[in-house]
Amino acid sequence: MSTHEPARFLDRTTPPHIFTLILVTGLGALSMNIFLPSLPAMTDFFATDYRLMQLSVSLYLLVNAVLQILIGPISDRFGRRPVILGGTALFMLATIGCLAASTVEVFLFFRMMQAVIVTGLVLGRAVVRDMHEEAEAASKIGYVTMGMAVVPMIGPGIGGVLEQSMGWQANFWLLLLLGGAILALVWADLGETARTSTSSLPEQIAEYPELLTSRRFWGYCATAAFASGAFFSYLGGAPYVGSEVFNLSAAQVGFYFGAPAVGYFFGNGISGRYSTRVGINGMILWGTIVTAVGMTLSLIFMILGIQTPFVFFGFMTFVGFGNGMVLPNATSGMLSVRPHLAGTASGLGGAIMLLGGAAMSALAGAVLTEGTGAYPLVIIMLITSLLSVFSIVYTVRREQQVAQT
């Protein structure tokens, strides 16, 4: 049941419309992957090595993780609205810096600054949890991220076409324009949903141990981190596989790259429809199994010598589908451990997930070399998928043990 008055679109005295939350969270996803088909061209532009250029993904994720540790308690103290507005404005300034960069070092600096847009992702989820109870929140988060999945699904395709027609900078011009539009929308529509807090920021951060001593919180964090680790490995390695292993153009890489987002869209749809009925643990378990099965089949096909872009990227839909079932429900689980710390839990849980993601992305970029093919990437994704299954099984069994005592 909702704990706030009904949302009225473009009325900032009420909670935000779901359309606003979809766009706010979608911009962060788009900024992460729209330029990925352009990485080879950007490597040539800055006269650098692909592994260094790939840091634009792993460093971005790393800064995302660090920021999330701070964003949660700051928003619990000062509110969701001002933090989202400030983060979007800073994202626009960082995007201008990326466009003006003349060296890879300057570009990477401003690229790391772009990570501030994670405020929209973190607090979009926290806003949903502010407004709804656990199972209903999982359902709503599923709908929000289902809509969000449309953006990264078409983003790489758009990015590849923009790069081929107008150069890689066109991707960042688009991000700048969209940032301005979303800033205006948030100003007009997003009313405050956080409960009033009189705690200071140090006091908010001091409440972290309340979360860190909860095995349930850690179980959901580990499950989400390992499940998304497969996807972040894909982000770090797929552009190389597409361009160097399968010799695809930037536009073709962009077209195939959206495969996980197709699965993510449908996985989130299932979360939105069935999480309340099935329960978050059941949805998470089946989601992790789907991803692990998909990666197992992908490896088997590679061993049998069936290696084409359609087969490789086609199996990546399993990763997206599984993540679509896992992440909304695991996120709701994290946020429900201590509901009064929803922003803090969203930030800390997201930070843990993205720290793992940054490591997986960097690892994927490092192990893919000439002659290895796509094997290292698929093996890494399979291992992280299996670890996510183990994590949720452990969490469920632990909860059963506690319930019996």
pLDDT computed for residue 242 by the predictor: 86
pLDDT computed for residue 283 by the predictor: 92
Amino acid at 395: T
Residue 3 lies in a domain: no
Residue 5 lies in a domain: no
Query: Over the chain, what is the mean pLDDT?
Result: 82
- Locate 17 and state its tokens: 């419309």
Amino acid at 348: L
Residue 13 lies in a domain: no
**Of residues 198, 186, 222, the one with CA closest to residue 395:** 222
Residue 1 lies in a domain: no
Residue 12 lies in a domain: no
Buried b (16+ CB within 10 A) or exposed e, 150-185: bbbbbbbbbbbbbbbeeebbbbbebbbebbeebbeb
For 289, the domain range is: 18-189+200-404
Residue 120 lies in a domain: yes
Give the rounded distance of the alpha carbon of 70 from its chain centre: 17
- Percent of the chain at pLDDT exceeding 90: 24
Residue 194 lies in a domain: no
CB 83 within 8 A of CB 119: yes
- For 320-365, the DSSP string reads HHHHHHHHHHHHHHHHHHSGGGHHHHHHHHHHHHHHHHHHHHHHHH
- Looking at the 3D structure of the chain, how many domains does it have? 1
For 263-301, what is each residue's pLDDT tens digit? 888 888 888 788 778 888 899 999 999 999 999 999 999
Indicate which CATH number applies to the domain containing 23: 1.20.1250.20
The SS3 assignment for 10 reads: coil
Residue 272 lies in a domain: yes
- Locate 190 and state its tokens: 């997003």
How distant, in Å, are the alpha carbons of 41, 103, 107, 239, 320 from that of 36?
A: 10, 18, 15, 7, 17
For 107-164, what is each residue's pLDDT tens digit? 999 999 999 988 887 787 777 767 766 556 666 766 666 655 567 667 777 888 888 8
- Which of the residues in the chain have pLDDT under 50? 1-2
Rounded Cα–Cα distance for residues 316 and 310 (Å)? 10
